[in-house]
Amino acid sequence: MASTAKLIATTAMLIGTIGLSACSGMSTRDRNTAVGAGVGAVAGSVLTNGSSVGTVGGAAVGGVIGNQIDKRH
């Protein structure tokens, strides 16, 4: 069981790294939106025990939050 979890985590990290390499031409706001959506999707899935509605809802909320984050204060 532990090896399966490790394989899933490693695969997710690899896919995330490859996916983020496609962000090189994006603006900072676009990157923040994409990262926020990804983090929100994972958080929504974890909090709702894998519910697809929770995953999509988390992605939507995370994308909005990521879009609104600005490095300037």
Which residue in this structure is represented by tokens 């697809």? 52
pLDDT score for 2: 66
Domain boundaries, the chain: 28-73
Residue range 20-29, pLDDT digits in tens: 777 678 888 8
Query: What are the DSSP calls for 21-61, one per residue?
Result: HGGGGS-HHHHHHHHHHHHHHHHHHHHTTT-HHHHHHHHHH
Q: Which of 33, 42, 41 is nearest to 9 (CA)?
A: 42
pLDDT score for 8: 78
pLDDT score for 23: 67
